[in-house]
Amino acid sequence: MREELAGFTIGVTADRRRDDLAALLQRRGARVVLAPALRIVPLADDTELRDATRACLDRPPDVLMANTGIGMRGWLEAAEGWGLAEPLRSVLGGAYVVARGPKARGAIRAAGLYDQWSPESESCDEVVDHLRRRGVAGQVIAMQLHGDRQPECTRALEEAGASVIEIPVYRWAPPTDPAPLHRLVDLVAGRLVDAVTFTSAPAAEALLRAAGDRTEAVLDAFRGDVLASCVGPVTAEPLVRRGVPVSAPSRARLGAMVRTIVDELPRRTVTIKVAGHLLTLRGHAAVIDGELRPLAPAPMAVLRALAQTPGRVLSRTALLRTLPRGADEHAVEMAVARLRAGLKAPRVIQTVVKRGYRLRVD
C-alpha cells in the first residue's frame, strides 16, 4: 500500500494548526479524530501586559526569553496598539535574545530582532541552565510566558541574582465544545484509536484531566496498545512522568512527528499466514494480500481475539467478551459473518462445530 497509515485511527489534541496536522496524517491514509484539548485565549484584561511592557521600557532587559511565536507576535501587536511598538523593539534590540523554538525565532526575526541562542530540547530548564552558566546576577530578564506562569523557572533565575519581568500575553482555556475530547477519552480507554498526538504539555495534562475516574484506564492504554506521539520532550513530560512510553522526533516539528508515527505504527501490526493469505491487522482494518479491508468495531474485535492465538479455537463465550456489553451469542455469529464478508476471504475463519471459531493458519 502506498498510504503508510491506511487502516489506522489517530487522535489530534491540538487546537492551533490542527488542520495542518490532520492533513499530514490524512494524506498518508490515516483516519483522524479531531479533539482539541485546550485553546489559546488572549488576556481579556491587558493591564498586566501593559504594565510589564512599561517595566521593560523603564528597565531595558538584558535578556529576552521568547518562548512562543504566537506570544511574541501578540505582545508586539498589543504594543503597536498602545503606540509603544518602536520603543519596545528598540529596548529588546539591545537584549541577549533566547528563542525557545523555531516559531519564537520566526516571530523574533519578523520583528527585525536577532536571536543569539536556542536550546536543543526547547525546554525552559535548558534555557535557565544556559543563562545561569552565562551569568545573570544583577541582570533584568524579560520572560514571555507561554500560557501559564512558570514559577520554577522564574524562581531559579531570581535565585541566580536576576530580576525577572514576566510578560503574560495569553492563557490556556478549555475547548469551547468539550464533547470531542470526552469522545477521544472513550476511544483511548476502549483502545479504538491507534495513536494520539500531542503538541503541548498542557494538552496532555488536559486530556488526563478530562479522563477523570478513567485516568488509569487511559494511561494503561497508552502504556500498551495506543501510541502517545509527542512533538518533543517538553510536550512528553507529563506522560513520561506517569510511566507512559512516548514517541517523539529528534526535532520538534509537525512533519517530523508524523514521520515517527509512519515509522512506528506499522511496526506494531500483527501479520500471519492464514488459509493461503497474508493477513495483517491494523487499527480499524485488515490488510489481506496487500488489499485494505476496513472493518466495523465488532468484526475487528473478533479478528483481534482470534489473531492473539492463531489456530486456537475460541468459544462463542470467549469471543462474546470482546464485544460491547449487552451483546449475546447471536451477536458473535453476526460479527463472524460480517468479518468473513469484510475480508472477502471466507476460508480465513473456520467454524469448529460445537466448539467455536479459529483462524485457519497455514
Q: What is the pLDDT of residues 322-346, one digit of tens each?
A: 887 767 778 999 999 999 999 999 8
- DSSP 3-state of 10: strand
201 lies in a domain?
Answer: yes
Mark whether 283 and 293 lie in a shared domain. yes
Amino acid 280: pLDDT: 94
pLDDT tens-digit map of 216-274? 999 999 999 999 999 988 889 999 999 999 999 988 789 999 999 999 999 999 899 99
Amino acid 2: pLDDT: 62
Amino acid 326: pLDDT: 66
Q: Which of 229, 224, 228 is nearest to 249 (CA)?
A: 229
* Rounded Cα–Cα distance for residues 41 and 170 (Å): 6
* Rounded Cα–Cα distance for residues 259 and 247 (Å): 11
pLDDT at 157 > cutoff 60: yes
Amino acid 146: pLDDT: 83
pLDDT at 362 > cutoff 80: no
pLDDT at 16 > cutoff 90: no
DSSP assignment of 51-110, as one string? HHHHHHHHS--SEEEE--HHHHHHHHHHHHHTT-HHHHHHHHHTSEEEESSHHHHHHHHH
pLDDT at 127 > cutoff 70: yes
Mark whether 150 and 54 lie in a shared domain. yes
Q: Taking the C-alpha atoms of 283, 309, 323 and 290 in order, what is their torsion angle to the nearest 10 degrees?
A: 30
* Rounded Cα–Cα distance for residues 240 and 237 (Å): 5
Amino acid 25: pLDDT: 97
pLDDT at 40 > cutoff 90: no
Burial class (CB in 10 A: 0-12, 13-18, 19+), 277: middle
Of 268, 288, 323, the last residue of a domain is 268
Gap between the terminal Cα atoms of the chain: 24
Mark whether 63 and 156 lie in a shared domain. yes
Which cell numbers in the block locate residue 63? 535578556
* Rounded Cα–Cα distance for residues 61 and 116 (Å): 15
> How would residue 356 be classed by pLDDT, with cut points 50, 70 and 90?
very high
Amino acid 234: pLDDT: 82
The CATH number linked to 294 is 1.10.10.10
Q: What is the mean pLDDT of residues 160-177?
A: 94
Share of the chain above pLDDT 90, in %: 80
Mark whether 126 and 78 lie in a shared domain. yes
pLDDT tens-digit map of 60-81? 999 999 998 989 999 999 999 9
Amino acid 253: pLDDT: 86
Q: Which of 37-41, 66-70, 160-164: highest mean pLDDT?
A: 160-164
Mark whether 46 and 168 lie in a shared domain. yes
Domain that holds residue 216: 9-38+175-268
Mean pLDDT of the chain: 93
Mark whether 19 and 64 lie in a shared domain. no
- One-letter amino acid at 231 equals V
Q: What is the mean pLDDT of residues 81-110?
A: 94
Share of the chain above pLDDT 70, in %: 99
Of 119, 151, 172, the last residue of a domain is 172
Determine how many CB atoms are found less than 10 A away from the CB of residue 325. Answer: 5
Q: What is the mean pLDDT of residues 142-163?
A: 91
> How would residue 282 be classed by pLDDT, with cut points 50, 70 and 90?
very high
220 lies in a domain?
Answer: yes
* Rounded Cα–Cα distance for residues 202 and 211 (Å): 14
Structurally, the chain folds into a number of domains equal to 3
1 lies in a domain?
Answer: no
CB 128 within 8 A of CB 93: no
Of 128, 154, 172, the last residue of a domain is 172
4 lies in a domain?
Answer: no
The CATH number linked to 155 is 3.40.50.10090
pLDDT at 121 > cutoff 80: no
- For 326, phi then psi, to 5°, come to 95, -10
User: Apex CA 189: angle with CA 183 and CA 190, to 5°?
Assistant: 90
* Rounded Cα–Cα distance for residues 237 and 200 (Å): 10
Which cell numbers in the block locate residue 53? 511592557
Mark whether 195 and 263 lie in a shared domain. yes
pLDDT tens-digit map of 134-145? 999 999 999 999
- E strands within 182-230? 195-198, 227-230
> How would residue 42 be classed by pLDDT, with cut points 50, 70 and 90?
confident
**What pTM was estimated for this model as a whole?**
0.81
Q: Which residue carries 470467549 as its cell?
A: 318
pLDDT at 190 > cutoff 70: yes
pLDDT at 44 > cutoff 80: no
3 lies in a domain?
Answer: no
Mark whether 140 and 93 lie in a shared domain. yes
DSSP code for 9: E
32 lies in a domain?
Answer: yes
